[in-house]
Amino acid sequence: MSREEFLLQLDEVLELPAGSLHGPEKLEELEQWDSSAVIGFIALADDHNGVSISPRKIADCVTVDDLLRLAQVPGASE
């Protein structure tokens, strides 16, 4: 799954309009980023990239880009 496709799927998880997320958004500023969103992100990473992610690692993320790197999404910025 490409970076753009993953971001669109994450938009759905967060119930945001398609194309809302681009990467630099701070998670703490996303009203929809809550425990349900964390579970949805874990499922998304596992289903589409086969990556198992612990909630502890997610807690260290600050931005959407951090989530993309954690999920090993191709094209995630370094």
Residues ≥6 apart with Cβ < 8 Å to 18: 8, 11, 12
**pTM score over 0.85:** yes
Q: Residue 19 region, left (φ>0) first, then alpha (ψ -120 to 50), else beta?
A: left
Residues 15-65: pLDDT tens digits?
Answer: 999 999 999 999 999 999 999 999 999 999 999 888 999 999 999 999 999
Distance of CA 13 to the CA centre of its chain: 9
Sign for the CA dihedral angle at 73, 70, 44, 47 comes to positive
Domain boundaries defined on the chain: 3-70
Contact 21, 73 (CB under 8 A): no
What's the CATH code, domain 3-70? 1.10.1200.10
pLDDT at site 78: 53
Does residue 77 carry a pLDDT above 80?
A: no
